Amino acid sequence: MTEILILYILNKYDCTIYKLIKLIDELFFAFAKTSSGSVNPALKKLEELSCVEFNSKMSEGGMKSKTYSITPLGKKHLRDLILCCNLSNPAHILNETKILLYCSNILSVNELIEFKENLLNVLQLYEINLERGLQDEYNERNELQKNIIKITLNETKELIKLL
């Protein structure tokens, strides 16, 4: 997800690592918290893939500074990352769905239709698994555990309604 966050920001602004982290935290405050420890490796990977490039310059304080920007290949990669909806970890499905939906405004009308269909399929399968888990008579769950699953199920249903 860090790559998506980086490319989404760079699709709008050219920025330094510091500014990039600050913008990710500001725009995605409800869904993600970044640090230089996660952004730096992701930027390096995106650089190796020719998705981002940078311009080095000296700051007023005499420090070397890199300003990153997205390349045309990076714009395509961002679209591909959003469209593929690779949501396989149940622990992250809802949060990553929200991030993908938040970033989906960069997609064309046709891409958006495809994206929503793919995401809907993932969420419907997740909904089925949650319902099965609640009905599993062989796995004893206390009321708190059942309520947590029900809250997750309701949130999944609300996201499905959005699509």
Mean pLDDT score across all residues of the chain: 94
Q: Would you place residue 79 in the very low, low, confident or very high pLDDT band (cuts 50, 70, 90)?
A: very high
Nearest to 39 by CA among 93, 82, 1: 1
Give the C-alpha separation, 116 to 101, whole Å: 9
Whether domain 1-84 has CATH 1.10.10.10: the reply is yes
What value, to the nearest 5°, has the Cα angle with vertex 115 and ends 104 and 149? 90
Q: Would you place residue 64 in the very low, low, confident or very high pLDDT band (cuts 50, 70, 90)?
A: confident
Q: Would you place residue 88 in the very low, low, confident or very high pLDDT band (cuts 50, 70, 90)?
A: confident
Domain-by-domain residue ranges, the chain? 1-84, 85-163
Phi then psi for residue 42, to 5 deg, are: -65, -40
Higher local confidence (pLDDT), 9 or 35: 9
Give pLDDT tens digits for 110-148. 999 999 999 999 999 999 999 999 999 888 899 999 999
Q: Are 20 and 6 in contact (CB under 8 A)?
A: yes
